[in-house]
Amino acid sequence: MIPTFPNRCLPPTLTNIEAASRSFATIDRSVAWLVDTLALSAGDTVLDLGCGPRLYASRLARRGLKVTGVDYSRRSITYATQTAREQNLDITYRYQNYLELNDEAAYHTALLIYGDYCPLSPADRAKLLRNVRRALKSGGYFVLDVSTREHRLRQRRHNHWSVEEGSFWNADIHLVLEQHFDYPAELIHLDQYVVVDAGHNLRVFRNWFQDFTAGRITAELEQGGFLVQSLWADLTGTEYYETTEWIGVIAQKVG
């Protein structure tokens, strides 16, 4: 049976842990490579989708780019806005679900980095592509990275349980039952967390991931109105190879 991505939900504070982003050194290399590869120059407009606490946006702004960051975490947007003000960076931040994005022909480049495309359902991915395509100027670039089956295999996460106190799941003592379900034929993986607090209240958090092959992400983007210009093993310029854990994609708006 093919999964249908039901009940995708993560606690909002999960965005605060370090695992939610790549290392600063990698981000620095990625920004430098993207600016060079896309020939971005001062004044060019960049849309940073799922911008989080300004990790990419601030670096791009320091290079003279006009950046708009969009994220559905109010805490991240508040922090990013305050930091931009303190550092005198001209960045526009918006608290918004990028599935509801309605910008039109406003950006040279749109970014969706660190696998944010993968947890979306097929319908939401199609909607996102329509939104991004509408937001880009003619010939604009959409840059994203997606995980592969190799990434899932190397993680090798196991089912287990633990008693926690003061974790991002709950401030008080609680039980966490962690389960992982794999659907290799569909390249889909599910992480499920059942959290039980001291009052015996139970909450279930599910996070679905769609992994990709080079052919699958290329076909999906082409169907969404983009032409894939190049594929990479990451977004720092590492050459693509078949067993890479990630696929970095540079695609261009058609029409």
Tens-digit pLDDT profile for residues 11-67:
333 333 334 567 999 999 999 999 999 999 999 999 999 999 989 999 999 999 999
φ, ψ for residue 253, nearest 5 deg:
-65, 135
Q: Does 153 score more than 80 pLDDT?
A: yes
Cα–Cα dist 255/138, whole Å:
6
Between 238 and 1, the more confident residue is 238
Cα angle, residue 151 at apex, residues 231 and 205 outer, rounded to 5°: 120
The pLDDT of 219-242, averaged and rounded, is 98
The pLDDT of 156-170, averaged and rounded, is 89
**Which residues, listed in sequence order, are joined to residue 91 by a DSSP beta bridge?**
67
How many whole angstroms from its chain centre is CA 160? 26
Q: pLDDT per residue over 177-215, tens digit each?
A: 999 999 999 999 999 999 999 999 999 999 999 999 999
Cα–Cα dist 215/101, whole Å:
27
Do 67 and 57 form a contact (C-beta atoms < 8 A)?
A: yes
The pLDDT of 223-230, averaged and rounded, is 98
SS3 state of residue 243: coil
Q: pLDDT per residue over 84-134, tens digit each?
A: 999 999 999 999 999 999 999 999 999 999 999 999 999 999 999 999 999
Please give the mean pLDDT across all residues of the chain: 91
Residue 116's nearest CA partner among 205, 45, 48, 16 is 48
The pLDDT of 69-84, averaged and rounded, is 96
Burial of 19 (0-12, 13-18, 19+ CB in 10 A): exposed
Q: pTM for this structure?
A: 0.88
Cα–Cα dist 51/93, whole Å:
9
**Which residues, listed in sequence order, are joined to residue 251 by a DSSP beta bridge?**
142, 228
- DSSP letter (8 states) at residue 62: H
pLDDT score, position 9: 44
pLDDT class of 155 with cuts at 50, 70, 90: confident
pLDDT class of 156 with cuts at 50, 70, 90: confident
The pLDDT of 216-225, averaged and rounded, is 98
pLDDT score, position 158: 87
Residue-range domains of the chain with CATH: 21-147+213-253 (3.40.50.150)
Cα–Cα dist 163/167, whole Å:
10
